[in-house]
Structure 1
């Protein structure tokens, strides 16, 4: 075997780097530390790029297998990368766009054969299609990434895609304008090839680091979200209450409804804790249905809940509480052996000024205590002086 020149050594290094990335993503899937479907797309994309980098070295000096075929295949690897990101951020499939890129690659290859085009043609085609795929992928996931990870997280996801697109776009433009310098075989030991391969190696590392950080940030975000949710009902818990309060406290008047399931201990004693859990889930669903978008529903613990209703004056709050109480009475929990009737007591308090949540919740709790003391299955509106916060 002939001794490899520096460009060929760099191609071997690119192929080895991509195979290592594929193995790492595959291990991450097996260890369940990365999402399965997106990661498998990145495994396939990395292996695909490794093939594209290895073919020029293995098949040189054949111009088709050494350059034409890798150039034809390269956009497919970037389509797989984009698909993985779209699946990760739960974006709709855009198979029509992917098919269009594939048809452009095949059509360009056929036209190149018919015209007897040289390596300049393959450079320009592969570079422009790759750049377009990367830019389109960044555009498709940017909005979802910003919603999930914030502006900085979205930049972390999208900027490596944009930088790599600029690399491919610059290479395509150079091949078109100065083919003698930029439209050479990838195995040519020229300054432009060496610079391109070294830039690709660096950006490829950056790209896979970006993917890893994106997966890690989403995992951290999910853990933070789970820490603010009650695992049984899916409602916000006491920790999540702080977040809801920040978003609602300026939407005055702000009503707090403290809700408690009546005689809930008897439900657990007579029917068991499994039915008790079903009852709590049933009540949580009824409360979700009773609030508007933007209002808050919190499970404070046990059988006690809290509803935060924005722009709700005392009379409106009392009416909303009565509607919820009637909804619970009219919606018994359906069990295999029949129906389980449930009732709730509700204490209502209303804040007319901005302040901490403690005084408002305490006023609602005091009204709830009065509702339970006076017979349960009723609504009590707390005094206005108790509701000021």
Structure 2
């Protein structure tokens, strides 16, 4: 018994050290799953959280692509482009909420979100409001900056496939972009468009 007490006492700092190390690892993992420019979830972090939400709730899946982003970068510089991405990330978070829904940046000027909805009737209202917020001009370094946005959304009851819903939302977003911007609602039961590696032929992220 007398030898056990010193052994336990010496183990306490070691256990505390491991606990601190585990907390540090968890923080580093969380940082790695967040986009450094916007603070939104990156693809891996988004897909993990979104899949859980899709499995248990009826949801809308929304795909967003900023219109004219490459031209904005070319005309006003990458610092302004970065600010446009930050503003869009803030709009996504404040409109949808990363507590109520799940918001992510896939890269470039592409954003995605999954948000609980009671029914499909609410999706057009949500897309219209989000589009208005995303296309509202903002001021950066004394200059008013504006760009367009194309949005696609799909509603699904609980238990859907996240990959299928993302593809449908992406297709609807592309239809909106092809028609000059705005938003479109996807038909979950319609035949999907041909894609290459899950994306439409000839389209690359970040160039619009």
Same topology, TM > 0.5: yes
Cα separation, 2, equivalents of 1:338 and 1:268? 14
Q: Which residue of 2 aligns with 1:367?
A: 172
Tell me how far 1:264 sits from its aligned partner.
0.3
Give 3-state SS (helix, strand or coil) of 2:165's partner: helix
Q: Could you list the runs of 5+ residues in structure 1 that have no partner in the other structure? A: 1-191
Find the partner of 2:125 among 319, 324, 330: 319
Larger CA Rg, structure 1 vs 2: 1
Alignment correspondent of 1:380? 184
- Taking structure 1 as reference, are residues 321 and 387 closer, same or farther at Cα in structure 2, changes over 3 Å only? farther
Find the aligned partners of 1:354 and 1:387 in 2 and give their Cα distance.
20
Q: Does 1:249 align with 2:54?
A: yes
The number of aligned residues is 191
Equivalence map 1:351-362=2 (5 Å): 351-362=156-167
Structure 1 221/227 Cα, relative in aligned 2: closer, same or farther at 3 Å? same
> What is the aligned partner in structure 2 of residue 258 from structure 1?
63
Does the Cα contact within 8 Å between 1:364 and 1:387 map onto a contact in 2? no
Paired residues for 1:162-311 under 5 Å: 195=2, 198-292=3-97, 293-311=99-117
Superimposed CA distance per residue, residues 16-57 of structure 1 (whole angstroms, 9 cap, x where no aligned partner): xxxxxxxxxxxxxxxxxxxxxxxxxxxxxxxxxxxxxxxxxx
Cα RMSD after superposing both structures = 2.0
Task: Work out the CA distance in 1 between the residues paired with 2:158 and 2:30.
Answer: 29
How far apart are the structure 1 equivalents of 2:180 and 2:147?
A: 14
Q: Compute the TM-score of the two structures, normalised by the length of structure 2.
A: 0.84
Contact 1:363 1:387 in 2 (8 A): no
Question: Secondary structure of 2:62's match?
Answer: strand
Structure 2 counterpart SS, 1:267: helix
List structure 1 segments (4+ residues) > 2 angstroms apart after TM superposition: 198-201, 250-253, 311-315
1:339-377 CA-partner distances (Å, limit 9, x unpaired): 10132110011122513311100000000000000011x
Please give the secondary structure, in 1, of the residue aligned with 2:189. Answer: helix
- Taking the aligned partners of 2:177 and 2:164, their CA distance within structure 1 comes to 20
Return the structure number with greater helix share: 1
Measure, in 1, the Cα distance between the counterparts of 2:87 and 2:152: 20
Deviation at 1:273, TM superposition (A): 1.3
CA distance in 1, matches of 2:167, 2:51: 18
Shift of residue 199 of structure 1?
Answer: 4.3
Report the Cα distance in structure 1 between the residues aligned to 2:118 and 2:83, rounded to whole angstroms: 30
Query: Structure 1 residues 387 and 249 mapped into 2: Cα distance closer, same or farther (>3 Å)?
Result: farther
Match of 2:149 among 337, 344, 351: 344
1:259-284 CA-partner distances (Å, limit 9, x unpaired): 11111001111111121111101110
What residue is the counterpart of 2:199 in the other structure? Answer: none
Q: Distance in 1 between matches of 2:187 and 2:180?
A: 19
Q: Larger RCO: Structure 1 or Structure 2 (Cα < 8 Å, ≥ 6 residues apart)?
A: 2
Give matches, 1:77-116, under 5 Å: none
Structure 2 gap segments, 5+ residues each: 193-208
TM-aligned CA deviation for residue 247 of structure 1: 2.8
